[in-house]
Structure 1
Amino acid sequence: MPDDVLRVVGALHDEFRQAAFPRRLVVDDVAGVEMVTLASGVDGCVSAWLEHEGHIDDRRWNHLAECEQRLIRVMPALKGAEATYYQRLLDMTALILEIDA
């Protein structure tokens, strides 16, 4: 796996971790998706992928693929900082699934 993908995902993950979670989404679901759970699920999988230098087990890969579909479903309903926050998650997810396919 190219080192640049690790660097890009690592940088996105750092930005994600430093960003404030959108307040409204603590209590509001979007398109039937619980947004806190979605963010924490992706974060856990990305963290594991980074810790294992670009590798995750099948269970996490499958979970990440499910999260990608949820992210695709909710993105049109998000605006501003909410969209930016979740776009980072989608970008990380897409990069990992593409490289690990």
Structure 2
Amino acid sequence: MVLVSESSEQMQNAGRLWHEHLDAPFPASLRGAEFGDTDMVLLDAETAGCVLTWLNNGGVLDAERTSILQGCIENLDRVIPQIAEPAGTQYYERLRQLAVLVARALSSTT
């Protein structure tokens, strides 16, 4: 019973954050930007793709996308401190928050 309500709450939180993310414009200064070998547009797309798949599949993510999501979290942790623009930092912090929420939800179901 606790897992169902916890899972439902995670889905609601992720859904709310997802809509905030969709409403936020991509930071213009990060279009085409790379930090090390991480392309910021690609990092956004990969992370968002995993989150959207998880939301659309009712909280389920296949092993390949779970692995991709973990890599995205590691990249986000590495690049966020390098973003100089506050709007860019906020954009990627929210994306990281979404990714971590999904990863935690996945780890609580295994």
Q: For this structure pair, what is the TM-score category when the shorter chain's length is used for normalisation?
A: over 0.9
**1:19 corresponds to 2:20:** no
Q: CA RMSD in A?
A: 1.1
Q: Give the number of aligned pairs.
A: 101
Q: How much has 1:27 moved relative to structure 2?
A: 1.8
CA distance in 1, matches of 2:16, 2:70: 21
Alignment of 1:1-101 (within 5 A): 1=3, 2-78=7-83, 79-101=85-107
Partner of 2:35: helix, strand, or coil?
coil
Q: How much has 1:67 moved relative to structure 2?
A: 0.3
CA distance in 2, matches of 1:41, 1:70: 11
**How much identity, in percent, do the aligned residues show?**
30
Give ranges in structure 1 of 5+ residues lacking alignment.
none
TM-score normalised to structure 1 length: 0.94
**Which runs of at least 4 in structure 1 moved beyond 4 Å after TM superposition?**
none
CA distance in 2, matches of 1:97, 1:34: 22
Residues 46, 92 of structure 1: 8 Å contact kept: yes
Residues 49, 55 of structure 1: 8 Å contact kept: yes
Give ranges in structure 2 of 5+ residues lacking alignment.
none
Q: Determine which structure has more spread, i.e. the larger CA radius of gyration.
A: 2
